[in-house]
Amino acid sequence: MPSGITQTEAHKKFPAALVRWQKKHGRHDLPWQQTSDPYRIWLSEIMLQQTQVQTVIPYYARFLASFPTVAALASAPLEDVLTLWAGLGYYARARNLHACARTVVSEYGGQFPADPEILTTLPGIGRSTAAAIAVFAFKQRAAILDGNVKRVFCRVFGIDGIPATTAVDKSLWLLADTLLPKKDVGAYTQGLMDLGATCCTRSKPRCDSCPMKSFCAALATNRVSELPHRKTKGKLPVRTARVWLIRDDAHVWLERRQACGIWGGLLSLPDAESVRLPANATELPGTQVRHKFTHFELQAEVARYEVRTAPSALNHRRELGAYLLAEAEALALPTPWRKLLIAERNQKS
């Protein structure tokens, strides 16, 4: 800790300093801040997982326009949900969103439970997300601990170790519970989110504007860039695939993937072995696609064919459907295939 400041004193100063800062400098005009509707707050919290606010805002508006209530979302086909989610990434969130809505309707009469422990039993809702919903929608007293908050805590209190490890994660949760104030929990919780997103950022943090600068251990010891400690990244394993891009002048043929897996439920270019081409198919120059995921890199060989009649499916579990290339941006496609089809469309035009 900084000279003359003990750990206990820093703990005492932190909540009040954060609340004061949030009320004056925090974010107050985000669309989900203008409501206490648990459905809207839950929707925003799921969308904000691993996604920046400015990216989420237009998706949030489109979702509410199509699914204004949890009942509307629950009754919608999963394909419609995935289509609206297209481009937001991490598609398991969309599948869990749909499953959670159905659970809330079927088991809780369309009303989200206020208890954060019960909320964690719902699909896609972890401990931190449950706490945020409970705080903002139901004014409950519960601690959050997402990636941004972990970074703030590690820097302000000089916590060593990798946050994702069990021991450090446990100590951070204990700290989160200890720091939680008796009042102003909403402003405090929003302040944690705002501080990590706008001030105590991973790169180029604005330490001069931070309300914790007088007792931040990382700043006092010149360790801001070091904390939190990061896990050493090894070389990503490579997975290979062979897919076919089959099209005519205006359409592309796509298959719906099975519900499980990394692209579960999305439209996709068909695997090379899953379709039989018509005799009049013309082979075009192929291409390669590389795409990095969190845990592996995909290297795909894409064979391109132009057809005049619809191809038939060898694997009847994956029937092919014709989709307009002009609408590639709006299809529920994985990011690499969307980019490829947009480039294909632009090249054709």
Active-site annotation holder among 45, 79, 107, 329: 45
pLDDT at 83 over 80: yes
Q: Which helix (H) or strand (E) holds 348?
A: helix 335-348
Are the CB atoms for 86 and 332 separated by under 8 Å? yes
- pLDDT of 299 reads 96
Non-local (6+) Cβ contacts of 177 within 8 A are 143
Q: Is the dihedral of CA 82, 86, 92, 96 positive or negative?
A: negative
Distance CA 78, CA 83 (A): 9
* pLDDT tops 60 at residue 316: no
On average, the pLDDT of the chain sits at: 93
Q: For residues 307 and 142, give the distance between their C-alpha atoms in angstroms, rounded to a whole number.
A: 58
Min mean pLDDT across 182-196, 301-315, 333-347 is at 301-315
Per-residue confidence (pLDDT) for residue 86, from 0 to 100: 87
Examine the pLDDT at 145 and tell me if it is beyond 80: yes
pTM over 0.85: yes
CB atoms within 10 A of CB 143: 24
Query: For the residues 48-64, what does the mean pLDDT come to?
Result: 96
Instruction: Using the structure block, give the residue that is written with the tokens 């991973």.
Output: 202
CA angle 94, 48, 20 (to 5 degrees): 155
- State mean pLDDT over 334-345: 93
* Total length of the chain: 349
Confidence of residue 349 (pLDDT cuts 50, 70, 90): low
Rounded CA separation 192/15 (Å): 9
What was the pLDDT predicted at 32? Answer: 97
For the chain, report the end-to-end CA distance as a whole number of angstroms.
62
Query: Per residue in 146-185, pLDDT tens?
Result: 999 999 999 999 999 999 999 999 999 999 999 999 999 9
CATH of 238-348, one of 3.60.20.40, 1.20.1260.10, 3.40.50.2300, 3.90.79.10: 3.90.79.10
Q: For the chain, what are the domain ranges?
A: 7-220, 238-348
Residue 315 has pLDDT above 50, yes or no: no
Sign of CA dihedral 333, 337, 342, 348: negative
pLDDT at 89: 86
pLDDT, tens digit (0-9, with 9 covering 90-100), for 196-229: 999 999 999 999 999 999 999 999 999 999 999 9
| pLDDT the model gives residue 87 | 85
Q: State mean pLDDT over 332-345.
A: 92
Residue 254 scores a pLDDT above 50: yes
> Among 26-30, 40-44, 72-76, 264-268, which stretch is predicted with the lowest mean pLDDT?
264-268
Q: What is the pLDDT of residue 3?
A: 64
Q: What is the pLDDT of residue 318?
A: 60
Task: Write down the residue that tokens 């005009």 correspond to.
Answer: 29
Is the Cβ–Cβ distance between 41 and 116 less than 8 Å? no
Dig out the tokens for 71 from the structure. 């009942």
Q: Which residues fall within 8 angstroms of residue 147, CB to CB, at 6 or more apart?
A: 50, 163, 196
Looking at residue 37, what is its pLDDT?
A: 98
* 45 is known as an active-site residue: yes
194-205: b (≥16 Cβ within 10 Å) or e? bbbbbbbeeeeb
In the CATH scheme, what architecture does the domain 7-220 have?
Orthogonal Bundle (1.10)
Token output for 21: 């800062």
